[in-house]
Structures are given as C-alpha cells and as structure tokens.
Structure 1
C-alpha cells in the first residue's frame, strides 16, 4: 500500500521509504528506473536498487512513476523551459539590433504600423507594444530541435536516493524532526508539518517543541483530534487561532479570522483561561498584539462563557479596559532611572531577552560593579537560554569590532521574511575586553551542550556552510544553503534560470545579473536592456506567462572582468512572488563542450522557490577568490523595490551595499562548530573511502557505504546541529 505522504519523505530526506509490493523479478525495471533518474541528476543507492529488483515489474514501474514526478519537481524539470532566442546561448543578437528588428516587424504589420509610426515620431517606442517583443516566437519542440544532446561530464550532479525504513516509520520520524526543530521552519516546511501532524498527532511525539510556530500547527491538529493542547502563554492561543484560519502563525502578517465552531471557541477560551489563571503576569504579553486580540475577540465572544473569567481579562487588556504593565516597560523604567543592576535582575527572568540586550547593557555599564552585574546576569541567562539564542548572540558579537568608534560603518538589517535594508552604524563599538569575555562565556556554554560526536567525517565543501539559526526566508528546493554559507563553484559555464507562471494577471519577471569589481562597484550587467557582453548572454525578455515562462543568463566565468556576480529576479509588472501560481530560481554549471538544451536537470546545482515579500529577489552572489576559484555566497534576500517597472539599473546602489554587507560579515559555520568539539577526531572525506565503524558525517549529501549507526547531517537536516 502506498503511503500518502511518501513524497514528503523523498523531498525532505532523499530517502525512498522501503518499497513494498508483490515479489518478482523487477531487476530490468529497476535498472530502467535508475537510468531515468540519472537523466535528471539522481540515482538509486545500491541497497535501494537491490530492494526494487526483488519486486514485480509492475510494482517497480508504479514506484518509478511517482518518484520521478517528485524528483523532477525538485530540480525544476516538471515544466517546459523555452527561450525567446531559439538558439540560446548561440546567436543572441546585439540589444539595439534586436530592438530595431522588432520595430521593423511592427512596421510591416498592418495592425501595428500606424501606432508604431506615431511612437517613432515622438522619439520613444514602448517595446511592449511591438508584436514580436516579449512573446515566444517558436514552440518548445522547435527550440529543442536547435540543440544537441548534453554531453556527459564528470562534474554533472548526482544526487543519491537512499533506501529508507518502512513508510509509516519514515513519516513519523520526519514529523518528529520538523515538530521538534530548534529553529523556525520555512513557510513550506510549516505547511508540510501541518499535513504530517494530521497523520501523526496520535502517534509518538517529539520530546519537546521549542518553536512556537511549530507548536501552533501541532495544536491545530490536536484540537481537531480532541487531544489536549500544548499552551503555556497567551500568545500560544493567538497563534493557534491563526493556524485554524490558515493564517500567519508567526504573527508577522495579517490573518483574517474565520468563523469558529462552538467546540473550537470553547477550547481556545478554556486554554486561555488556564494560562492566565496559572500566571496572571502573562497578561502583559497581550499588548504586543493588541489589535489582533481585538479581532479575535469578535470571533470568540468571551462574554458568552462566564465560567472562564481569566480569558475575559485578556480581551479587557486588549481593549484598554484593564491596564497591565509590559515587561519591556518595566525594564525601560529601571534603565531610565539609571538602575542597571535592577534591570539586569529583572531581565534574568527572561534569559533570551537578557542575552539579546547584552550589547546595550554592556554599553550602559559605567562602573566595574555595573559591568560585573551584567556579566553575572549573562552567565546565569546563558545556562537557561535556548541554544539558538546563544548562537545568535555569539554571531552578533563576532561582527562587533573592538574599536571605540566605527566611523562610516554600515549595518545590514534582515527581517524574518528575508526583507533587507542597509543603514549607517551609529553604535559605539564594544570594549574589546567585554566582547572577549562574553565570547568566552558563550563558547563555553555552547560547547557544553554539544553531544559526543565520536569520530567525525566531513566533506571539505561543507566546512563553510553557515549554521541555520532560522529557516525563515530560506525557501525549499534543491541545494539551498543558509544565508552566509559559502560553497565552491566548479565549472566553466554558469547559467542562471528563472521560471514563473502567472495566476490571473499578466506578469513580467526579469532575470538580470550584475558584475562588480573588488570594491563592489558595477563593471557591467546582463539583462533585457543588455543582452550580450564579454561575460555572457541573456536568453531574451519574456513579458507574460499564461502557460509559464523562463529566462536564462549564461556567463563564461573565465571571461568575467570583475570579482562578483550578483543574479537578480526583478518584478517588472503583475503578480508578486507570493501571488504567482509558481515561480523559482536556480543555477546550472557546465563544462564548455557539454552543449545541451537551455535547461538540463542534471546540471542543476540549486533550485529554490521564489516566495519572498519584496519585488527584487537576491538569491546569492558569486565571488572569485584570490586563488582564482569561484564560490557562492548565499543571500536569500528580498528588496522592497519599486511598485512596478523594477530594473537592474535602479537597484545598483542597494545591491552593492548588500553584497558587501553579507560577503564581509562573519558567520558561525560548521567549521566553527567543529572547532568547539575539542579533541574530537575529525577526518576530511576524500569522496571515496568510508570508514567501517559508525561516524558523525557532515556533507552536501550522504555517501553510500556508511555504517548504519552513523549520524548524518546534510543540508536537508542541518537544523539538527543546533544544540538545545
């Protein structure tokens, strides 16, 4: 029997739940399945191939069909990628020559001649009015006829699908991993958790659910199953109400509350009443989301349930009828009176808040006694705070200088949605001694929480992957790494691609790439306004996507005249990244002689959905190092941009500053964490031999032949590295 959530296991873990079916001779079908997978850059592991070979041919074919569908979507091969210029990257014309050709064709068309002449008389022509501009002039099949087969190369990506446990066990394990994640999940992963929770709510649960958004999703399933809710703050109830409305459980965006059944209203109010009855001070949290509480009260009708008076107090506070001082106001009052020691003492009841305020508290200390109080509070808080908080503060300190002044410094702000902006850094730097003491304190506490890893085997390419302190703003896909990660780029030709399909409005996305020099200043660019340059070629501008559309940029890395390449996807008109039916970005790497179609799935190194809040997407930046080798620095950012007509020429200044801010910012990486493990035996994996005994393996993907008791960390489960 096929488990309905098998596809989630494949996507999240690159494991295929142990195939089941009638016994038979499926060896030939299994080899054909393996061959089909290799055409999209995947292959079956030895144990999985052997397991399939023991099933009937029909069973193998059924498994192959549904698995291929999933992996093709992972790399973006589930759609047809056409190009405006049929021979791309060959025969791309000069930009002005191309525009003149479009004008000549418009003049030759009886329907558009008069309008084009009128525009020419003004000296300005709107390209979008020209009939041959921005729309495919050939079919997908005709485009394929212009391209030779892709020549196999040693550098082609091969992602191995491994043999998993039985489907129910795999699904249960995936549920517990997502539910118990110590870092916030992406929106897509939260949706997956929602689906998994419905199936797994009555089964084994994770030991803890530290992330509140995850708890809200699970509480939604528990409420519907009639199981007890997991609530210990009033905000937990608010998040649950948002989950029931399929809204934003992070509370960052608006939620339109739906009409709730009477049992659901009773459950929410009873939970709210119990939380406040146990700790009335938690009413102070209501003011943070006062307006949202008011709207929820209109749906819950707390006045109809007098048996829960504490729940009614929540809405009285939201309406301003009952005053409760917030925790933050009490802290600010003490600081305003100059009572730093008193503020630290109060903050000790909220360890995470204290640690996040350390920078300010240290700068406010004027005497040795005050500084000692701050340090003692930090020591106490560090023992109680979550590991993710410790790492976040540690990374903050990593990027705080030891000079008393930082003239001209810039700060990069990135919110939980991936929206980024840059401003001047006016903070005085931390005194060096304080900074070093705090770093030592945090490192000691973090190291004490790391489990005994035993023998460690690590892929060298994985050393500079940043620790995922949050999954927010990192969309799902293949080969996606946390912001700040650095990974090698091997290949002569770098090709970006974007695909989008509009839902209801005519939508125009523009793929562009900017080349910057070593000072982060623009050298050149490629976009619809500059189709060709020394560095490479643009596949042509597509201005509508009712059936889906693709754009490509190919760069010959050896010809790049700068030190950085920054690809961008810009919304020119129509639906946002959040509103399209589908949109994604990725890049491919090829050798010069490989040829092939514009989109070849086995050359795809990264593919991620575009689902951010801005109008300009900055997935990553490529940097040429002093050794001449190229590396990718992961950004996962979105700029607000203009309401419409975003063009690469207008984003130049912001992109230059953001690229500098991310590339030059130091990150907590896997390399750094390995360094905290002291005398742990660490071996760099050579890509060939694997040890016989169990190891802790860290790498871009799981190799075959590891001992079954090995602990394995890849990008898909990197969040599991974060200590408790």
Structure 2
C-alpha cells in the first residue's frame, strides 16, 4: 500500500518522495534511471538526481522501477500500441481499394467464407465485419515495430521534469489536505484518490475546512472507520455518508444500493442527523430533495429502534409523506408565479444567497419593470458575500456571455460531461444591467482573493480556464479544464485512442472532422475515409480483448479548414465507463522525425475516457487568422446511438456544439490576475529562463527547475487552489 500511495504522489505532483534507505553509491543507477525516463519524455531534476546518487543502488533501482511504471502510465506508454496498417502513416491505401482487397481475399478463403461473401454480393452489399482481413491485426506488435525507424530527437520533444519531494509522510499529508480542502468539486478519479489518502490520514492533520460535500463524505467514511466522529452540518451530509459506507455514489447522481449497516454505524448516522436538526430545524426542508433515497435508507437504519433521536425519526416521516415541510424553493416559485420578483429576490438574499446567485439570470429576465430589476440587483449586492467563490465565478462566466453576440445555440453540460445543444431563445441582458452585475461579482471575488506580492506567470497559463468543477476535466497528462486554450506547435498532429474491453466485443472508432469558417464540413478522416488532406487513418480495429489502438495523422500545413475536431465513437460493445481502460491523446512531431506510431516523448496529452454517452469529444483545434493553431478543451460526451455511431451521422450535432463552445468566453487565469493586480500584486510574465531571486508564486503548466526558497507553485493540477472559498 505504501507503494500505491507513492504512485499517487508522483502522479499528482510530479515529485518523487525522498527515499528511505542507507547512504551509498547510487550515482550510476540514478543516471541510468534518468536515461530511461528520457525515453518516455521525462527527466530527473538536478536536485532529485543528486539525492538519488547518495543512496545504495538497490534502493535507487526500486524507486526507478516504480516511478518509471507510473510515468509510463501517465503518458499512455504502459500498453502496446499496434496499428492495422503496419507501415502507418505510410502505406495506407485508398478506402475503396482496401475494401475491395478485403473482399477479394475473402473469395480465396475457405469454402464457407467464400459462399457467405458471394451470397452477400448477390444481395448487393457486403458486411465488412464478416471479412477475415477486416478489423483484425494482421501482424504482431513486434513486426510492426520492426517496420519503423527510430524517432529522430527534436528540441520540441516533450520533457517533463520530476522533482525531489519531502518524505512520503509529508507528501501524502500535503496531498490529502489539498484534495480534501479543495474549494471545487473533484473529478471521479481525484475523489477515488482522496478516499485512498483519507484512509491513511484520518488521524493526522486535517485541512481547515472541507467545503465540497462529496469530499466531506469520503473523509467522513474514513473518520468513522477510524473511530472518529463524522463532520456533519446538513441532512444531506448524512445521506452522502450513508452512500459512502455502502461504496455508493456520494454525488447522489447514481442510485446506491444500501447495505446492511452495523449497529455502531447506524447509531452514528442517526445521532448525527438528530444533532443537525436539533439546532437548525429549517434544514428539514432539504429532505424533499432526495425523498426516495431517504425512504430506502430508512429501511436500513431502523430509526424506530432509537426513540432518543426524535429529529432523525422525523426525517423519515417527511420522506414517507406523513409530515409536510414547505421548502424554500416552493415559496420562491409561488412568489414568481404571482409575478412578485421583488419578494422572491428578497427571500433568496435572506435565506439562500447561493441560490439567488444561481437564479440571477432568471430573476432579471422575469423582472417586468425597472423597479423590479433594481430590486433584484440590490438583492444581489446583499447576497454576494454569502455565496461561495466557485458560485460567484460561475455566475460571472455566465453573465459575461449573455450578450447580443451570443451563439444561437445554448449548450448544456451535466456534471458527468454529457452535452446537448438547443436554440437559445433568451433575450440578452441589457448592457447596463450586465455591467453592474459584473462589477458586483468582481468586487466580491477580488475581496476574497489572496494577493501575493509577486506572481511569476508562464504565458501559456493565461488562457487556461478556471477549474470551477473537477468534473470539467479528466485524469491524464497535460489535461486542462474545459474551455482552456493552449498553443499547438508542430508540423504533424497525430491523434490516438486506446481501449481494452472487459467482457464483450467492443469496437471504438477514432475519427476527425475538418470544419470551415461557417462550421460546415470540409472533410473527415475515419475508417470510411482513410486518406484526406495528406492525412491518414491507421485502420479500423473491431475487437479489443487484449487492447487496441487507432491513430489519425494530420499535417497541419495541409489542412484547409478552420477547425479540426477529433472524436471517439462507440460502434459496438462496452461504454466508456464499462471497458477495462480507454484513453485519448495527441502527439506533435516535426515533419521528418519518423518513429513508431506511438512515441511517448511526443505525447502532449493523454486523457482518460470515462463518461456517459457513446461519442466522446475531448477537444477541438482552431486555426487563427495568423495561421497559428490552438487547442480548445471540450471534455464532452454525446448520447449518440446504442450502436453504429459514425462521424457521418453526428457531424451536425458536433458542429452546433463546437460553435456554441468556441464562441463562448470562459473565465480564465488572466481574469483573476487582473483582479489581483488591482490589489497591488506585481506580475511578471516568465521568459522561460530567468527566475527572480525573491520568493514568488509561480503559475505555469509545469514547475520550473529552481525557484527561490519560500516560493509557491501552482500548475493545472492544483489550480483549484486559486478559487477563493
């Protein structure tokens, strides 16, 4: 388990915990470790190399073995990436020629196959999946490697530096407190990591606060199992803890099948529930939000056996409908139904500031008179200090996009990344109203922001979107939050996807569509169109019991469209949440580098595919008016069809989503830096070489090699730390 914790530290922080062991002569082993890391695009910092050199060789080799396995998985190099066309990107045939070859080969196969194909031809069609040559690797991984020359090194190859950390105990504690104390919701991968860390840190130092309820549930489970009291201040905290104890969904989006709970755990839940309501009876109203879940939980808790906790028993009476408690939202809806916007805004400002912020657009649109609109704005000014920083920033991003130039389509993205678009029929907010709202929100956000004396900023960080939800991204390497922009520099852009099925035959299809300025389709690359615009598809693989990969090669200089949008379609079999493993990524290379189809040193992104729907849209690429390419991060999943998803059938939906998202302005690091500057923070844009002698707060995609003692580093991994509470 200690090694699993060490792996979490390396993956989250790119720091290797200081090893434990005897002093020795490990310099040769450390240098060999460094060379092995460079083959996959990583490198030891000078400090880490020197530290490892001072330990015995066996200790260094053990650390090297574990760390190399971790970073190879980070970049996607822990699996074999074979291709259907052995010489890819060379040797990819015309699509129809390839299909004809598959048919011709089938006609020379065994009698049964030949008869089946002839029968299909007589009926006027041929099922490609029935042809022996189609969809299955025709060579081994080793044979494919032998067909490719080695990669020619380039100065633009990725080099990710691993740094020396503190002791494993210190690193684990710091990572636990950072995840538990996050002011934004964690993604499912980070939430699972928090559960592992909490099980080891329940008795150690804790964060000052655990503001996100899902994170609190994970920590509460660990505390309860360690014999400590849970942290509860709402009735839903109790419900989430019950889900955690049953290894269910603490976000309450998926149904949890409650287990039979031990008597100590039942007592802890009921006592905690009673204590919450004894001091705040108004929280009874929250029971109605999850009435059915409470009814099912009551069957496991047996509240009638504990008459000493009458408030807890009342919760289940409310859930069963035996007792009625009016909710705040019902009162607000009643007021709005009568057209009394002023009273509705006053009630929300007084009782639920966060809900007023989330309802602000609706209140402003419902206001029929200038007096009503002024009342809503006055309520906002009173309520702003009561909303969380994440909600303030979310509303700020929403309002800044409510202009007359807004995209004609409105995109909805749920908490799992599922996306759909509808026509936007809302009237834009008047400019004067929008400006006043933005001023109120910026004033409150700025008041809460920490203002360091000196910020050192990597310019590539300025257009990174603020991670207002951990669910707006995925685990992997080089992943940025939804809406972020990052530069794309290289001659050759190569997408890849990998999947490995669990039980059923599973066929994923990597495709890419090229869109013009008007978002109409220029061309596409997929298994139905293997070559276009000097690009190539590596060939269709239709089954993945041992894992399978597909690639798309594009020379950016040959692309005539404005956008390139890769996608992964599920043609058949298991979903993204069902397969043993699935991920997407892209590589950037110089034109003459050559190498294997998958070269870890050239990987710029590797992102896990875990989400709803049958079509994944990880990101889109856009060329600006100067010819420079940028990646816009999407992290979206379309519902698609149960089977048979193809790029030809979802191009219209894809274009609508891409337009709506590309034309939307996200809230980025650049905006927060502007607010900090108003508070006196000095900002230096880093030139990539010189670092100040004084302590700084550094913002960048990766930490620099050396900073002055006392400096603090913020990368995309911990960018959530900038979100005020």
Bin of the TM-score, shorter chain as denominator length: over 0.9
- 2:557 corresponds in structure 1 to 558
- 1:427 corresponds in structure 2 to 426
Equivalent pair of 1:461/1:699 in contact (CA under 8 Å): yes
- 2:39 corresponds in structure 1 to 39
Deviations, residues 500-530 of structure 1 (Å, cap 9, x unaligned): 0000000000000000011111000000000
2-structure distance, mates of 1:451, 1:473? 24
After TM superposition, give the deviation of residue 376 of structure 1 in Å.
2.1
After TM superposition, give the deviation of residue 291 of structure 1 in Å.
1.2
- 1:392 corresponds in structure 2 to 394
Equivalent pair of 2:408/2:660 in contact (CA under 8 Å): no
Structure 2: any 5+ residue segments left out of the alignment?
A: none
Distance change >3 Å, CA 287–CA 370, structure 1 → 2: same
- 1:440 corresponds in structure 2 to 439
After TM superposition, give the deviation of residue 685 of structure 1 in Å.
1.0
| Matches for 1:542-691 after TM superposition, within 5 Å | 542-677=541-676, 678=678, 679-691=680-692
After TM superposition, give the deviation of residue 4 of structure 1 in Å.
4.5
Secondary structure in structure 1 of the residue aligned to 2:182: coil
2-structure distance, mates of 1:538, 1:259? 52
> Quick check: 1:356 aligned with 2:355?
no
- Between 348-357 and 329-338, report the one with greater CA deviation: 329-338
2-structure distance, mates of 1:246, 1:488? 41
2-structure distance, mates of 1:473, 1:35? 35
Secondary structure in structure 2 of the residue aligned to 1:423: strand
| Matches for 1:37-436 after TM superposition, within 5 Å | 37-110=37-110, 111-348=112-349, 349-401=351-403, 409-436=408-435
Equivalent pair of 1:402/1:435 in contact (CA under 8 Å): no
1-structure distance, mates of 2:432, 2:628? 37
TM-score, scaled to structure 2: 0.98
2-structure distance, mates of 1:158, 1:87? 27
- Between 39-48 and 335-344, report the one with greater CA deviation: 335-344
RMSD of aligned C-alpha atoms?
1.3
2-structure distance, mates of 1:498, 1:536? 17
2-structure distance, mates of 1:147, 1:557? 22
After TM superposition, give the deviation of residue 473 of structure 1 in Å.
4.2
Secondary structure in structure 1 of the residue aligned to 2:471: coil
- 2:22 corresponds in structure 1 to 22
- Between 469-478 and 496-505, report the one with greater CA deviation: 469-478
After TM superposition, give the deviation of residue 410 of structure 1 in Å.
1.6
2-structure distance, mates of 1:3, 1:425? 51
1-structure distance, mates of 2:232, 2:381? 29
After TM superposition, give the deviation of residue 195 of structure 1 in Å.
0.5
Deviations, residues 128-150 of structure 1 (Å, cap 9, x unaligned): 11111101000000000000000
Secondary structure in structure 1 of the residue aligned to 2:157: coil
> Structure 1 residue runs of 4+, over 6 Å off?
none
Equivalent pair of 1:535/1:561 in contact (CA under 8 Å): no
1-structure distance, mates of 2:375, 2:233? 30
2-structure distance, mates of 1:370, 1:583? 52
Deviations, residues 212-248 of structure 1 (Å, cap 9, x unaligned): 0000101111111111111111111111111112111
1-structure distance, mates of 2:408, 2:96? 41
After TM superposition, give the deviation of residue 318 of structure 1 in Å.
1.1
2-structure distance, mates of 1:243, 1:571? 31
After TM superposition, give the deviation of residue 341 of structure 1 in Å.
2.4
Equivalent pair of 1:535/1:557 in contact (CA under 8 Å): no
1-structure distance, mates of 2:681, 2:277? 47
After TM superposition, give the deviation of residue 3 of structure 1 in Å.
5.4
1-structure distance, mates of 2:396, 2:23? 55
After TM superposition, give the deviation of residue 375 of structure 1 in Å.
1.8
Equivalent pair of 2:496/2:552 in contact (CA under 8 Å): yes
Structure 1: any 5+ residue segments left out of the alignment?
A: none
After TM superposition, give the deviation of residue 2 of structure 1 in Å.
5.5
**Aligned residue pairs: how many?**
721
After TM superposition, give the deviation of residue 180 of structure 1 in Å.
0.4
- 2:486 corresponds in structure 1 to 487
Equivalent pair of 1:491/1:590 in contact (CA under 8 Å): yes
After TM superposition, give the deviation of residue 717 of structure 1 in Å.
0.7
2-structure distance, mates of 1:2, 1:353? 43
